[in-house]
Amino acid sequence: MPAYARVPVVTWEVKVELERALVRRHSVRSFCGRPVEREVLERVVQAFGGAPSARNAQPLRLRVVREQSLRQRLQSAYRGGWLSEAPVVLVVSGVAREAWVRRDGVSYLLCDAAIATDQAVLQATALGLGSCWIAAFDAEGVREALSLPPEEEPLLLVALGYPPDGAVQPPRQRRPLEEQVVWL
């Protein structure tokens, strides 16, 4: 049997679920008190770990921060006071020397981080969680908060949790596609 024949069939429902997650995902900065189940987090983590990376270098690490004391420490490395409301914070870090670097010196570390983080965020959305990417943190503060080893660079945080009941999805503010896309 050829290798491609062993790939599970992508059903119509799977496609619709992905599209639904793409449309439903928006930044959530307020959370209800409901704890996030371990099984849900495991599926989010699997989505992260299954992401592609340039030359399959896999230079990323992920910390799933649930302990309140550690979340408080992360809060002190980020100005938005809402972060401590999130019951879970994902901390994405990378080891620069493991990342693929193009001949002209461009490192694909951040690109790899964005792909894996987006996969985690979309899976979280599909499972009913709200999330918000965070880049505007103090990297040294995050490093200290979690005692990251020197070779790991904190790249992204993601706040995760169930949104409050009745939260409404704000309308998207996006450039029209005609301004973003060139068909050649």
Q: Which residues bind ligand FMN (CB under 6 A)?
A: 26-27, 80, 132-136, 172
Smallest gap from residue 6 Cβ to ligand FMN (A): 35
Please identify, using beta-carbon distances, which residue of 40 and 157 lies nearer to ligand FMN.
157
Q: Are the beta carbons of 158 and 131 closer than 8 angstroms?
A: yes
Smallest CA-to-CA distance from 92 within 70, 76, 115, 69 is with 115
Smallest gap from residue 134 Cβ to ligand FMN (A): 4
Please identify, using beta-carbon distances, which residue of 41 and 78 lies nearer to ligand FMN.
78
Smallest gap from residue 30 Cβ to ligand FMN (A): 11
Please identify, using beta-carbon distances, which residue of 1 and 136 lies nearer to ligand FMN.
136
Rounded Cα–Cα distance for residues 59 and 109 (Å): 7
Rounded Cα–Cα distance for residues 82 and 103 (Å): 41
